[in-house]
Amino acid sequence: MAALEGGGGVLELPAADRVVVVLVDGLGSAALRARAGHARAMASGLFKRTTITSGFPTTTAAALSSLTTGGRPGQHGIVGYTALVPEADAVVNQLSGWSDVMRPATWQRLPTIFEQLAAEGVPSSTIGPAKYADSGLTHAILRGADYVAAGSIAERFDAARALFDQGGRRLVYLYVPELDQIAHARGWESDRWLATLEALDAEYARFSARLGRREGLLLTADHGIVDVPASSHVIFGDVPELVQGVRHVGGDPRCVQLYLEQGSAPDARTRLADAWHRREDSRAWIATREEAIQAGWFGEVDDAVLPRIGDVLVAARKLVAYYDGRDGDVTGRSMVGQHGSLTSEETLVPLLRAGAFAL
């Protein structure tokens, strides 16, 4: 937004008429650096102090909301992969669980950058797969922008070029979900992930080479990823003291959020956190809600967002993933690539600059 308004901002971007922000879901700096030889165009940018830190938790719905609103989870209100909707007394998926109890127009509480630009007469477009065109998340975090559906990565970059060729001032957001999806299914160390990274790098190079003097590109990610073997899954639901007084389990397997029964004793939170400390201190960061907020994990937290955050948070430090195991739901257990926690592999993401923004 700063670039379209004449330059400056935290990134000290020069002024540009047309800006594209490419969001590569799940592309951490560590993975990109490890595969630098297969992504030469993108990796060359990594050596120019272009790594930034994503927010917490390192989960897509929360991080994308932060990107498109400029706010932190404590303000925009998307605090995990799943989170408690207090009015419904239920944990709801924050990517896909939109409904009357979690309405896109109000559950995400901040105006988007696209809405702010529209108020200034600058149009925005978002480019992504057709299946997200009308999704609840799109209405929650991409509102104010036109949605352009494009199937492949190459088609999305072509669509961005076509929008730029219309001239004038414009912000384009280009979403690449493929690497995250492949990492979840097969791991970021898989051949399929590598082949897709190579394809993305080719499109990035091709698009960047055609950028005009007043056209800038930023490429970044919502979070990085770690591969967790199934042998490192920790099942906690059958350990009584780890679920004492717990009514709901939310968050991500790499960042569990435990919600206590309503009307729990005042010390229930610290007792539950202490039980987790005794067993899991060596491989997780454990915090009560107060401790997490005090430590700034969610940024400044609005009163309306407070009850959406778990009473106790368990963020994986080692290469493990936490599962309740009592719910009988084994769908998540087949995931290889995982994210959600505070390790550098999950929090550090690239911020690559091309065209008018090139360093």
- Please work out the total of residues on this chain that contact Zn ion, with binding judged by CB under 5 A: 1
Minimum gap (Å) between residue 184 Cβ and Zn ion: 6
**Alpha carbon distance 131, 150 (integer Å):** 10
- For residues 180 and 346, which CB has a smaller minimum distance to Zn ion in the complex? 180
Binding span for Zn ion by CB under 5 A among 32-40, 177-185, 192-200, 264-272: 177-185
Tokens of 53: 């830190």
**Contact window for Zn ion (CB under 5 A) among 3-11, 144-152, 176-184, 324-332:** 176-184
What is the closest distance, in whole angstroms, from the C-beta atom of residue 2 to Zn ion in the complex? 28
Q: Which is nearer to Zn ion, 212 or 332 (CB)?
A: 332
Taking the complex as a whole, how short is the minimal distance between the CB of residue 59 and Zn ion, in angstroms?
A: 7
The tokens for 28 are 């951490």
Q: Which of 180, 280, 311, 345 binds Zn ion (CB under 5 A)?
A: 180
Pick left, alpha or beta for residue 309 (phi over 0 → left; psi -120 to 50 → alpha; otherwise beta): beta
Stretch near Zn ion under the rule CB under 5 A, chosen from 76-84, 102-110, 179-187, 297-305? 179-187
Q: Per CB under 5 A, does 252 bind Zn ion?
A: no
Identify which of 254, 217, 248, 264 has the alpha carbon closest to the alpha carbon of residue 358.
Answer: 217
Give the residue closest to Zn ion by C-beta: 180
Strands 90-93, 82-85: pairing is antiparallel
The candidate with the shortest Cα–Cα distance to 132, out of 179, 98, 82, is 98
User: Among 321, 341, 347, which residue's Cα sits nearest to residue 229?
Assistant: 321
Toward Zn ion, which CB reaches closer, 180 or 227? 180
| Contact yes or no for 340/58 (Cβ under 8 A) | yes
Judging by beta carbons within 10 Å of its beta carbon (0-12, 13-18, 19+), is residue 134 exposed, middle or buried?
exposed
Min dist CB 302 to Zn ion, Å, is 26
Phi, psi of 104 (to 5 degrees): -55, -35
Q: How far is the CB of 142 from Zn ion (least distance, A)?
A: 18
Give 102's DSSP letter.
B
Pick between residue 180 and residue 201 the one whose CB is nearest to Zn ion. 180
| Residue 193, both tokens | 């992930």
CA nearest to 259, candidates 306, 326, 323? 306
Closer by beta carbon to Zn ion, 262 or else 334: 334
CB of 359 to Zn ion, least distance (A): 29
Sign, CA dihedral 118-20-142-293, equals negative
CB 170 within 8 A of CB 17: yes
Cβ distance to Zn ion smaller for residue 226 or 287: 226
Question: Per-residue DSSP letters for 17-58?
Answer: SEEEEEEETT--HHHHHHTGGG-HHHHHHHTTT-EEE--SS-
CA gap 14, 43 in Å, rounded: 22
Between 116 and 181, whose beta carbon lies closer to Zn ion? 181
- Shortest distance (Å) from residue 183 CB to Zn ion: 7
Q: For Zn ion, give the closer residue by CB, 217 or 225.
A: 225
Pick the closer one to Zn ion by CB: 57 or 310.
57
- Segment interacting with Zn ion (CB under 5 A) among 3-11, 62-70, 174-182, 241-249: 174-182
CB of 339 to Zn ion, least distance (A): 6
Q: Please, which residue, 22 or 275, has the CB nearer to Zn ion?
A: 22
Q: Is the dihedral of CA 10, 13, 17, 18 positive or negative?
A: negative
The CB-of-254 to Zn ion minimum distance in angstroms stands at: 10
- The distance of closest approach from Cβ of residue 190 to Zn ion in the complex, given in angstroms and rounded to an integer, is 15
Q: Contact residues for Zn ion (CB under 5 A)?
A: 180
